[in-house]
Each structure stands twice: as structure tokens, then as C-alpha cells.
Amino acid sequence: MEQYIIKGGVPLHGEVEIGGAKNAALGILAAAIMTDDEVLIENLPDVRDVNVMLEAMSQIGVKVERLTPHSVMLCGANIGDVNIEYEYIKKIRASYYLLGALLGKYKKAEVPLPGGCNIGSRPIDLHLKGFKALGAKVSIRNGSICAHAEHLKGCHLFLDTVSVGATINIMMAAAMAEGRTVIENCAKEPHVVDVANFLNSMGANIKGAGTDVIRIVGVEKLHMTEYSIIPDQIEAGTFMFAAACTGGDVLVKNVIPKHLEATISKLLEIGCRVEEFDTEVRVIAPKRLSCANVKTLPYPGYPTDMQPQIGVALSMAEGTSIVTESIFENRFKYLDELARMGATSKVEGNTAIITGTDKLTGARISAPDLRAGAALVIAGLSAEGVTTIDDIVYIQRGYECFDEKLRGLGAKIECISSQREARKFMLMTG
């Protein structure tokens, strides 16, 4: 089992390049099978979730040609099967995007029900409500969602909860339905816009992505395209908090600063200096971070995927902070791990009260999930002494070359798989 070993206390300095957005990539890969033509996708992040998605796609007959680690040519002309295997959905929930894509294109799909996830219960009732409103018959059989329709017909739909997944899934199916669909109370996340732009580049007619209301006029056929995925706002935000927590000064390159507004606003509030350029953001940490209150909200609010990172910052800040998690109920597990490093917090329902400590100290801890794992790496980088982190497979789901990029900023971090490597690291780092 691989672990990260970290010798903390080094302020991060220098420049880091951000990759393509994982969450946009997952939607775009699924949408790419909706044409029989070849589709070229660039700025693809080379992370585990993306690679599993590509495997799931090739299992149903999609031609997947990885041209470079960051570009892939796909062709969905010879899809022989509309059933996705449980093995893939178990590894990566977002393979449920294939439901919307297959239903739109072939008017039928079968995808296993995604299981529970460790950040909270994640229902998909809204996805199904949308498919039904488009005229599909949806049933659950032997643990799978089976959706089929003679014809998909455009509809007017209100989503009860703002959901990224439901917005993207319904938008894909509606892109190839007959007539006009209006989806209200949509998610406005940058990756919803990116999937819409991608579909439009294949000939879809989608307007309003990025606002509350998306209007779609269905088309019969989609065509070839070449498309480059937007930069990953969460990877960028994670490096920005790594700079803030370690007392560093980091230029984060290849970003869209507009997508980072909520993160930047909180970094300013906790005392950082932030300089914005066209495609870069520089974060300069203060001597000591200040406390702040934060509540996660759908975009453009503060992202739930950035909650553990700010939680780590606040655990070292001066004063007491209140963090409210309003999207997923089970996203405070990292605080138990942080407590082992000397942090003080109390969780009540969806609120955590965090009292900052002067200094975290290294400990052996585990990554509870993807973003919490990345946040704990930041804690290790900021702490005095050595931290080892187990279960880093979660982190590798969404961060490409995380340890390598951090080393590029001066961090003392290695990915190890034996005690011998741990001893070697200790000798090297003193």
C-alpha cells in the first residue's frame, strides 16, 4: 500500500501548473460517445477517475485511443452494449453520466445504481426524475437503473435541489430529445458550462448553461469535434491553500481566476495577499492566518470540495472559526485525523467549530476521501515533524502527480511503499 511521507515546516515557493478539470472531464468523456464520429479531447487530467471512466467506456465498445497522457481520441460508432458493469460504477460514481449519454443517443441504457459514498448519502432521484420527464420509462432491476424510451420528448422541468450531476445528465439526454427542454434551478458550476460548450461544439443547441435556467433544443445527430477541457478549479484552490498554510508564496498557473472567486475571497479574509493575472493567481501567506466563518454552497458560493482545505487552514489560524457544510453531511471526517496532529474542533450536525492552534505536529493519519486526503497533505506540509498518510489512493483519484508538483514547490514529500523507503526519506530529510 502506498503512503505519503511528509517532513513538514517548509514554506512552499515557486510556480505550479494546473491540469484539466476532473469533474468536467467525466461529463465530457460520457458526452463524447453521443456521436458516431471521432472526438478529440485535450487537457485531459491523467488521474484515476478519468482512467476508470475510459475503461468503462471501452468495455461497452467505445474506441479509446490515448494519444498522450493528456489527450484522447474517442469513437462511439461501434457501441455494442448499453449496460455498464458494476465494477466501474463502484469505483467511480460519475460513470452514471453514461446513463444520460446512452439514453440520449440510443434511447436506452442500463447502469448499476451507484452505492453509498463516504462523503454522505448521494441520491440520484433528480437524475431519474429528469429522464422520466423526458418520456423515458425508468425502473430498478437487479440493482441496475434501466431506462428506455420510444422517443425522448423535450419537457419543462424544475430541479428541487441544485445538483451538478442531475443538471449534466439531464442536459445530455435532452440534447438529443425531440423538441425543446427547459431545466430550471440548474447547477451553475464551471464544469456544467464546459459540458454544455462541448455538446454545442458537437452540434447541440444548449443555451443558458452557467445560469439557473438551461434551454435546449434537441438535435437528431451530433458530429465530430476537438475540445480542450477547462482548468481544474479545485486542484488550483488546493495549491492556493497549500501556499497559505505553509507560509508560502506560490504562483498557480493555467487557471481561470473567475472560477476561483469564492476561494480567493476566503484567502483574503484569512489574511493572505492574492494577485490575479489573466491565467494565473499568486498567493502570498501572512505570518499567521486569521479565523473566518465559511459555509459551503453551490457555485458561485464556496465549494464543498474546498471545505477540508479551508478547515485545515482554520485549524492553524488565530481564533475560532465556524464551518458549515450545506451540501454533503459527512464531510468532517478529516477533523478526527487533524485532531491527531493537535487541532481542536467540535462537530455538531453540519457545523464544525474550529479553534486554531499555534502549531500542528506530524502524525500517522489516513485519507478519508479525495478532498479530505488532499487537505491532510496540506496539514502534513504545515506541521512540525513527520506525517505519514495512508489510503492515498483516494487522493490519486483526482490529483495528478500531486507529490511531484508539491516537490516542485520545495515540499519534502515522497510516495513510499515500504519501511525501507520511509527510512531513506528520513535520512535524506534529516
What is the footprint of ligand UD1 within residues 281-310 (CB under 6 A)? 304-305
Q: Is 165 in the site for ligand UD1 (CB under 6 A)?
A: yes
Q: Which is nearer to ligand UD1, 138 or 166 (CB)?
A: 166
Pairing label, strands 294-295, 320-324: parallel
Q: Is 137 left (phi over 0), alpha (psi -120 to 50) or beta?
A: beta
Residue type, 125: D
What is the footprint of ligand UD1 within residues 31-60 (CB under 6 A)? none
- Closest residue to ligand UD1, judged by C-beta, is 165
Q: Which is nearer to ligand UD1, 327 or 363 (CB)?
A: 327
Catalytic site residue 117?
yes
Q: Is 138 in the site for ligand UD1 (CB under 6 A)?
A: no
Helix (H) or strand (E) holding 132: helix 125-133
**Distance of closest approach, residue 337 Cβ to ligand UD1, in angstroms:** 19
How big is the CA angle at 352 (ends 347 and 354), to the nearest 5 degrees? 110
Is residue 343 helix, strand or coil? coil
Q: Is 250 in the site for ligand UD1 (CB under 6 A)?
A: no
Stretch that binds ligand UD1, among 162-170, 250-258, 278-286, 413-421 (CB under 6 A): 162-170
Q: Is 23 in the site for ligand UD1 (CB under 6 A)?
A: yes
Q: Is 350 in the site for ligand UD1 (CB under 6 A)?
A: no
E strands, 265-306, are 273-276, 280-284, 294-295
Residue type, 403: D
Stretch that binds ligand UD1, among 156-164, 241-249, 274-282, 350-358 (CB under 6 A): 156-164
Stretch that binds ligand UD1, among 50-58, 121-129, 342-350, 417-425 (CB under 6 A): 121-129
Give the orientation angle of helix 164-175 with respect to helix 22-32, to 10 degrees: 20
Give the orientation angle of helix 233-245 with respect to helix 370-382, to 10 degrees: 20
The one catalytic residue in 117, 155, 272, 401 is 117
Environment class of residue 284 by beta-carbon count within 10 Å: exposed (0-12), middle (13-18) or buried (19+)? Answer: middle
Q: Is 116 in the site for ligand UD1 (CB under 6 A)?
A: no
Positions marked active-site: 117
The binding site for ligand UD1 (CB under 6 A) comprises: 23, 26, 94, 122-127, 161, 163-166, 187, 304-305, 327-328
